[in-house]
A and B are shown apart, each in its own frame.
Chain A
Amino acid sequence: MSRIGAAFQKNGIPAFIGFTVAGDPDPETSVRIGKALIDAGTDILELGMPFSDPVADGPTIQKADERSLTAGTTPDTVFAIVRELRAYSSVPIVLLMYFNSVYRRGIARFYREAHDAGVDGVLIADMPVEESEEAVAAAEEYGIDPIFLVARTTSDDRLDAIVRQARGYVYLVSVLGVTGAREVLPPEAFELLQRVRSHTALPLALGFGISTPAQVKACADAGADGVIVGSAIVEIIARNRHDSGAMELELRRFVSGMKAAGNAPCR
């Protein structure tokens, strides 16, 4: 079984999937952040490849991309960060990115280098399944799971096409909109979970807007296999970017709290 597959074998307890932008606020601190997230129990680590025009992201992650790029992060830097984290832990690592970063590098070269660095999965935010043929073939060649988004607006026909190509897990977009913390998750998020469940046996992870233990509990109760938390983590990093000790402490506390909410007995 792949490292990603193993991360979901938790007897009904949803995997905690933590996101941070690679190189935010700078490459060195970013490695420490990755290690802190792993130490606190993150089951899958998602690393964002910073991009100048992240249209699927809200202001929190856009600012993190800007901090990372200002610190000089390139794809080579991101692969170096992955290698350090891979040497530290066997926690699965997934890259979240935009298509131009892959295309510019050369699709086959990108997946080969990602594999060599120790990447387990790649999600390209602006690559719908219709445009995925070359990337999926390269992912398969290098043993990387191609991870796809499914949204409330995804039709059943397209859902079938997506889950045919998808490996690892399916990333369910819980809200209409861009990334960023929300007060409440709409009931449609859980309807989406039920709908996708009837189309695939792949693990289903809910993301976009999840930032509180109560939301994690609601996802666990609804039967999600994983919860993805991004902007809330990035906000902790932004707030403490001049004090990495305090940052690591708050990250550990935050992840532990979110994990505990997922472990709480159902209902």
Chain B
Amino acid sequence: MGRKGRFGIYGGQYVSETLMSALIRLEEEYRRLSGDPQFARELFTYQTGYAGRPTPLTFCTNMSRELGCRVYLKREDLVHGGSHKLNNTLGQALLAKRMGKKRLIAETGAGQHGVATAIAGAVLGLPVEVYMGEVDTQRQALNVFRMELMGAKVIPVKSGTRTLKDAINEALRDWVANVQDTHYLIGSVVGPHPFPSMVRDFQSVIGKEAREQCRKAEGRVPDAIVACVGGGSNAIGIFHPFLADHVELIGVEAAGKGIGTGEHSATLCAGEAGVLHGALSYLLQDEHGQISSTHSIAAGLDYPGVGPEHSMLKDTHRVTYTAVNDGDVLEAFSYLSRTEGIIPALESAHAVAYVMNHADRFDKNEIVVINLSGRGDKDVAGVAAMQGGAS
């Protein structure tokens, strides 16, 4: 049998035997539907009439003046639900419905993917259950309420580190037990084949739009594109349509309290190859292959793995991966709010922080696009508490 779903050496299907038939069927169904114009039309209708696409590519006058380059934001914060996550959940939920699945399950870290799954489930009439680490249910309480408001059931996960990694473990366990009628709606470009390719395809709408919008505004493609990387779905979504172009692509991971402290989530910067959650990819692990616990101020980046396609893009040097620490992220969070009147999600603030720290790399005519993957409303209470505690 051939080795399917590989990005270089990375990817694959490292799952329990019970799930293999579901993955094979999902792959077949997805391949069939991705060439089906009726499915494309249906998805387009939801993207435009419901999710609010296309999202603007906003030129940042103030930030450009201060940083000395032409800064644009791809405004995924304006997608319904407040992040890019809905691009993927609408696509997969429509697919699940076509496959006759009766129930959606999902994992969530910051809660944004859980919210986006709850939205898709509500509008398409599919019941949703979301696994969320107990720690995250506390630090993202508002998103728990939003999910429940839209009819989803949130299941706090109390095993292991009680964060995103353990939420995925529990969702996989649920899927094994209910595989015949349930679709596991994975929220990032992680997991076994075909998820990394399928989620990338649904998220590529970000890069396709940005390419078109930048050509219209500037008559050319950008010089650099910067996106935060946890699992890596917003980054691959904006990078992928530019892979063949002469554009510098920069993925920004969470350095947390500093990579040297061990309290971070910078998988590509500091990890090594291994298998977790169904795929071979870079991984934060110890010498024996036990998965490390991670830290990030942004719950959505607090994950020891990363999408396998990113691992390949690191090895081929097509994308540069770097990391910024919690302190710089908080500064970027305030800076963008103050300068442009846009409150970024703490996840997306990693990309903003990189551009602030490295503005001298770009001259005044160079175009830098930041993927603003989500809005920061969910983080406002947490940041206020941190600042209150510090003063």
Residues of A in contact with B (beta carbons under 8 Å apart): 51-53, 55-56, 58-59, 62, 69, 74-75, 98-101, 103-105, 125-131, 133, 148-155, 158, 161-162, 173, 176-178
Q: Are A74 and B172 in contact (CB under 8 A)?
A: no
Q: How far is the CA of A74 from the CA of B288 in the complex (A)?
A: 7
Q: Of A103, A127, A173, A178, which one neighbours B289 at CB under 8 angstroms? A: A103
Q: How far is the CA of A127 from the CA of B15 in the complex (A)?
A: 6
Q: Are B20 and A53 in contact (CB under 8 A)?
A: no
Q: Are A100 and B21 in contact (CB under 8 A)?
A: no
Q: Which of A74, A149, A151, A162 has most chain B Cβ within 10 Å?
A: A151
A104 to chain B, nearest CB (A): 3
Q: How far is the CA of A98 from the CA of B14 in the complex (A)?
A: 9
Q: Which of A56, A133, A148, A153 has most chain B Cβ within 10 Å?
A: A153
Q: Are B17 and A151 in contact (CB under 8 A)?
A: yes
A158 surroundings in chain B (CB, below 8 A) = 20-21
Q: Are A101 and B178 in contact (CB under 8 A)?
A: no
Q: Is B290 an interface residue (CB 8 A)?
A: yes
Q: Are A173 and B14 in contact (CB under 8 A)?
A: no
Contact with A along B265-276 (1 / 0, CB 8 A): 000000001111
Q: Are A176 and B176 in contact (CB under 8 A)?
A: yes
B177 to chain A, nearest CB (A): 4
Q: How far is the CA of A176 from the CA of B290 in the complex (A)?
A: 26
A174 to chain B, nearest CB (A): 11
Q: Is B334 an interface residue (CB 8 A)?
A: no
Q: Are A55 and B159 in contact (CB under 8 A)?
A: no
Q: Is B291 an interface residue (CB 8 A)?
A: yes
Q: How far is the CA of A130 from the CA of B5 in the complex (A)?
A: 11
A-B contact pairs, 26 of them (CB 8 A): A51-B289, A52-B160, A53-B277, A55-B16, A55-B172, A55-B277, A58-B173, A99-B14, A100-B285, A101-B289, A103-B280, A125-B16, A128-B15, A128-B20, A130-B4, A149-B16, A149-B18, A151-B16, A153-B179, A153-B180, A154-B21, A161-B1, A173-B18, A176-B177, A177-B173, A178-B177
B17 surroundings in chain A (CB, below 8 A) = 128, 148-151, 153-154, 162, 173
Q: Are A99 and B275 in contact (CB under 8 A)?
A: yes
Q: Is B32 an interface residue (CB 8 A)?
A: no
Interface residues on B, range: 35 or more
Q: How far is the CA of A162 from the CA of B1 in the complex (A)?
A: 11
A148 surroundings in chain B (CB, below 8 A) = 17
Known: A126-B16, A151-B18, A153-B20. Is A101-B277 also a contact (CB below 8 A)? no
A176 surroundings in chain B (CB, below 8 A) = 18, 176-180
Q: Are A153 and B14 in contact (CB under 8 A)?
A: no
Q: Is B56 an interface residue (CB 8 A)?
A: no
B24 surroundings in chain A (CB, below 8 A) = 155
A104 surroundings in chain B (CB, below 8 A) = 274, 285, 287-289
B278 surroundings in chain A (CB, below 8 A) = 126
Known: A56-B176, A59-B159, A177-B177. Is A100-B20 also a contact (CB below 8 A)? no
Q: Of B169, B287, B290, which one neighbours A55 at CB under 8 angstroms? A: B169
Q: Is B165 an interface residue (CB 8 A)?
A: yes
Q: How far is the CA of A103 from the CA of B22 in the complex (A)?
A: 25
Q: How far is the CA of A101 from the CA of B289 in the complex (A)?
A: 5
Nearest residue, chain B, Cβ from A149: B17
Nearest residue, chain B, Cβ from A69: B290
B165 surroundings in chain A (CB, below 8 A) = 53
